[in-house]
């Protein structure tokens, strides 16, 4: 089969470097305004799982490598490789069986679309924090979404998946069917050895009273804010998400401070009474001296998504890194110190204190790296001439955190650094993943972090 045969066989579209519109297609593969200088040889925009199988078989038969692309939201742009990119953006069908409490979602159903559709049935899922991000790579990397304290990491709510493997076969995987593929698909992220063409999701009741409260302080109050957050998380139910957002002061507070930290508590309660009770526990310990306080705002999912959307403007250049730590105090303090020195005023960092595990253990899946506190830092800027300064800032912060870092979250790690991917897994889980890669993708068809996407063997 040559490229022309492929064009005939695919129900979606095929774009090669020689085709008009190639550069538009290439640029459109990544959400980040910062596009690496990598040029896919062929972009297959798949219409269905059959197209994915055809593209995988074509690549294998012609000695090319494959890079699956969901929504192109991974901040380091890893989906953009110089090989056959299988673009899943057209595979975004969703169906909900409210009685069985199961949703079937093709990979590029977005968080926003899923949350809105589920809400109509009084149901919910731990969707990610931003509406435009698709399930595709979000669930594959684990998925640190809304109400994670109560609902857990999102991939632990996946019931089963449909996957195209390196030999072009289409298989299902669940606890009972192909269990080792199912183990890997929950957390492997770009280390996975197949293409996910459908997720089946276990659903939750929609919390009827989602309330957000926010206390904003001058950033040097980070120590007091962290102590308050850490204590609160031992006293409130697990359905509270408590985040410290460290950033430039919002415009109304700019006269009072240059940089601020906001303690943002979102309560996912079943009733008003429950929300009020939890809020009173949090509020009674809030440090003195807040520059601004907003209590008990009604924030159903669509409002949460409107709020978070403002923090990820499209078209900007982004670089991101994450760290898990057992030392929330040091983690948040070091991030706050870095935010004070950010070269771009748009850059910010968030620190999340998780509820205590109370002796519970995480399910055994590839998602295996987690700790009591999580930090994510976002360098956001506009001009390519500022790339070096912003990367230096982000990596300087991570270097400062390194002594207290347990590891990284692959969904938002700085994957241009070779050790980020291995260090996003517990050591035994990473070993198992490497073993499964050798078993299910022995020729290394699928591009993986840290590899140079050279064609394996060009036949035509």
Ligand X SMILES: Cc1cc2nc3c(=O)[nH]c(=O)nc-3n(C[C@H](O)[C@H](O)[C@H](O)COP(=O)(O)OP(=O)(O)OC[C@H]3O[C@@H](n4cnc5c(N)ncnc54)[C@H](O)[C@@H]3O)c2cc1C
Paired tokens of 93:
């069908």
Q: Contacts with ligand X in 105-124 (CB under 6 A)?
A: 107
In the DSSP assignment, the letter for residue 286 is: P
Count of H-run helices and E-run strands, the chain:
13, 18
352 near ligand X (CB under 6 A): no
Q: Which helix (H) or strand (E) holds 334?
A: helix 328-340
Name residues contacting ligand X, limited to 167-206 (CB under 6 A).
189-190, 192, 195-196
Give the binding range for ligand X (CB under 6 A) out of 63-71, 117-125, 396-404, 420-428: 63-71
Taking residue 280's Cβ as centre, other Cβ atoms within 10 Å add up to: 9
Binding ligand X (rule: CB under 6 A), the pick from 26, 57, 69, 186 is 69
| Cα–Cα distance for residue pair 96/94, rounded to 1 Å | 7
Residue in 53, 54, 66, 72 binding ligand X, rule: CB under 6 A = 72
At closest approach, how far in Å is the CB of 261 from ligand X? 19
Give 290 or 331: the residue with its C-beta nearer to ligand X. 331
Cβ pair 227, 234 in contact under 8 A = no
Cβ closer to ligand X: 6 or 415?
415
User: CA 379 from chain center: how many Å?
Assistant: 16
Q: Which of 12, 15, 31, 349 binds ligand X (CB under 6 A)?
A: 31
CB 446 within 8 A of CB 168: no
Report the residue number, 308 or 329, with the smaller CB distance to ligand X: 308
The backbone region for 319, taken as left when phi is positive above 0, alpha when psi lies in -120 to 50, beta otherwise, is beta
Applying CB under 6 A, the span of 11-19, 67-75, 258-266, 332-340 interacting with ligand X comes to 67-75
- Between CA 85 and CA 55 the distance in angstroms is 9
Candidate segments 10-18, 135-143, 416-424, 426-434, binder of ligand X by CB under 6 A = 135-143
Both tokens of 51, joined, read 């197209």
Considering the complex, state which of residue 88 and residue 286 has its C-beta at the smaller distance from ligand X. 88
Going by C-alpha positions, the residue among 238, 234, 26 that lies closest to residue 151 is: 238
CB-neighbour burial class of residue 73 (10 A; exposed 0-12, middle 13-18, buried 19+)? buried
> Rule CB under 6 A: is residue 148 a binding residue for ligand X?
no
Beta bridge partners of 217: 261
Residues 78-107 that bind ligand X (CB under 6 A): 78-79, 88, 107
* Cβ within 8 Å of residue 220, ≥6 positions away: 336
**In the complex, what is the shortest distance from the CB of residue 76 to ligand X, in angstroms, rounded to a whole number?**
9
Given candidates 40, 112, 134, 149, which one binds ligand X under the rule CB under 6 A? 134
Least CB distance from residue 326 to ligand X, whole Å?
20
| Closer of 328 and 411 to ligand X (Cβ) | 411
The smaller minimum CB distance to ligand X, of residues 129 and 211, is found at: 129
Min dist CB 318 to ligand X, Å, is 7
3-state DSSP call for residue 28? helix
Select 105 or 290, whichever has its Cβ closest to ligand X: 105
Taking CB under 6 A as the rule, does residue 215 contact ligand X? no
DSSP state of 78: T
* Residue 119: CB atoms within 10 Å: 14
Among 209, 221, 191, 161, smallest CA distance to 366 is for 191
Residue nearest to ligand X (CB): 70
**Using an 8 Å Cβ cutoff, are 140 and 185 in contact?**
yes
From candidates 58, 125, 144, 151, binder to ligand X by CB under 6 A: 144
Site string for ligand X, 273-312 (x = CB under 6 A): ---------------------------------------x
Q: How far is the CB of 337 from ligand X (least distance, A)?
A: 24
Out of 136, 213, 266, 323, the only residue in the binding site for ligand X (CB under 6 A) is: 136
Query: Residue 41: which residues within 8 A CB-CB, separation 6 or more?
Result: 16, 17, 64, 82, 83, 84, 455
Using CB under 6 A as the binding rule, whether residue 71 contacts ligand X is answered as yes
Question: Is residue 375 within the footprint of ligand X (CB under 6 A)?
Answer: no
| 68: contact with ligand X by CB under 6 A | yes
Binding site for ligand X (CB under 6 A): 31, 67-75, 78-79, 88, 107, 128-130, 133-134, 136-138, 140-141, 143-145, 189-190, 192, 195-196, 312, 411-412
């Amino acid at each position: 089969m040559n490229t022309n045969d492929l064009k005939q066989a695919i129900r979606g579209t095929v774009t090669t470097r020689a085709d008009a519109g190639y550069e538009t297609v290439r640029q459109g593969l990544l959400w980040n305004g910062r596009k690496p200088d990598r040029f896919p040889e062929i972009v297959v925009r798949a219409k269905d799982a059959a197209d994915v199988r055809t593209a995988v078989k074509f690549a294998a038969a012609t000695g090319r490598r494959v890079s699956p692309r969901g929504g192109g939201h991974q901040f380091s742009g890893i989906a953009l490789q110089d090989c056959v990119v299988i673009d899943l953006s057209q595979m975004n069908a969703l169906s909900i069986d409210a009685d069985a409490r199961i949703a079937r979602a093709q990979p590029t159903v977005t968080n926003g679309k899923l949350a809105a559709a589920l809400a109509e049935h009084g149901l919910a899922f731990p969707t990610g924090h931003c509406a435009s991000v698709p399930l595709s790579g979000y669930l594959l990397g684990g998925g640190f979404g809304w109400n994670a304290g109560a609902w857990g990491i999102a991939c632990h709510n996946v019931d089963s998946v449909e996957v195209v493997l390196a030999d072009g076969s289409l298989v299902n995987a669940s606890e009972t069917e192909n269990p080792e593929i199912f183990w890997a698909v929950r957390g492997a992220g770009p280390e996975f050895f197949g293409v996910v063409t459908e997720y089946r999701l276990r659903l939750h009741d929609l919390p009827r009273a989602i309330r957000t409260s926010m206390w904003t302080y001058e950033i040097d109050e980070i120590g007091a804010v962290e102590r308050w957050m850490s204590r609160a998380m031992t006293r409130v139910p697990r359905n509270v998400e408590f985040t410290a957002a460290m950033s430039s002061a919002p415009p109304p507070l700019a006269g009072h401070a240059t940089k601020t930290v906001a303690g943002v508590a979102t309560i996912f309660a079943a009733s008003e009474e429950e929300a009020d009770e939890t809020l009173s526990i949090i509020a009674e310990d809030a440090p003195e001296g807040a520059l601004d306080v907003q209590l008990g705002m009604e924030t159903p999912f669509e409002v949460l998504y409107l709020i978070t959307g403002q923090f990820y403007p499209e078209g900007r250049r982004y670089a991101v890194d994450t760290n898990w730590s057992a030392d929330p105090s040091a983690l948040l303090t070091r991030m706050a110190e870095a935010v004070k020195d950010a070269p771009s005023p748009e850059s910010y960092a968030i620190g999340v204190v998780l509820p205590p595990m109370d002796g519970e253990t995480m399910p055994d899946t590839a998602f295996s790296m987690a700790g009591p506190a999580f930090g994510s830092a976002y360098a956001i800027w506009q001009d390519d001439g500022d790339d070096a300064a912003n990367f230096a800032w982000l990596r300087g912060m991570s270097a400062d955190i390194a002594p207290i870092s347990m590891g990284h979250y692959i969904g938002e790690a700085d994957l241009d650094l070779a050790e980020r991917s291995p260090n996003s897994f517990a050591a035994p889980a990473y070993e198992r993943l490497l073993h499964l890669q050798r078993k299910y993708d022995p020729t290394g068809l699928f591009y993986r972090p840290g590899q140079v996407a050279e064609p394996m063997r060009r036949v035509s």
